[in-house]
Amino acid sequence: MFRSHVVVVDLGFGDAGKGATVDWLCSAEAGLDVSAVVRFNGGAQAAHNVIAEGRHHTFAQFGSGTFSGVPTLLSQHVLVEPIALAGEARQLATLGVPDPLALLYIDGRALLTTPIHIAANRAREDARGSSRHGSCGRGIGETAAYALDHDAPTVSDCLRPRVLRDKLQALAAHYGALIAPSEHRYEPIDTLVDMYQEFAAAVRIVGGEQLAHFARRGRLVFEGAQGVLLDEWRGFHPHTTWSTVEPRNARAMLSEIGSAGYVLGVSRTYMTRHGAGPLPTEDRALDFPEPHNTTGRYQGEFRLGHLDPILLRYAIAVSGGVDGLALTHLDTQGTRYAATEYATADGPIAHLPPGTWQDLTHQQHLTDFLATAHPVLTEIPDDVLPWLAQTLDVPVVLTSNGPTRTHRTPTTATVAAA
The alpha-helical segments, DSSP class H, found in 221-319 are 248-256, 309-318
Residue 184 designated active-site: no
What phi and psi, each to the nearest 5 degrees, are found at residue 410? -70, 145
Among 5, 48, 239, 306, the one annotated catalytic: 48
- Residue 7 · residue 247 · CB < 8 Å: yes
15 is catalytic: yes
Q: What gap in Å lies between CA 323 and CA 395, rounded to an integer?
A: 7
Dist. CA 23–CA 393, nearest whole Å: 26
Catalytic residue among 15, 23, 157, 231: 15
The number of helix segments (H) and strand segments (E) in the chain equals 11, 19
| Run of H or E including 342 | strand 337-344
Cβ atoms of 338 and 307 within 8 Å: the answer is: yes
DSSP secondary structure letter of residue 10: E
Whole-angstrom Cα distance, residue 260 to residue 251? Answer: 7
Evaluated on CA atoms 223, 220, 208, 101, the torsion sign reads positive
Active site residues: 15, 48
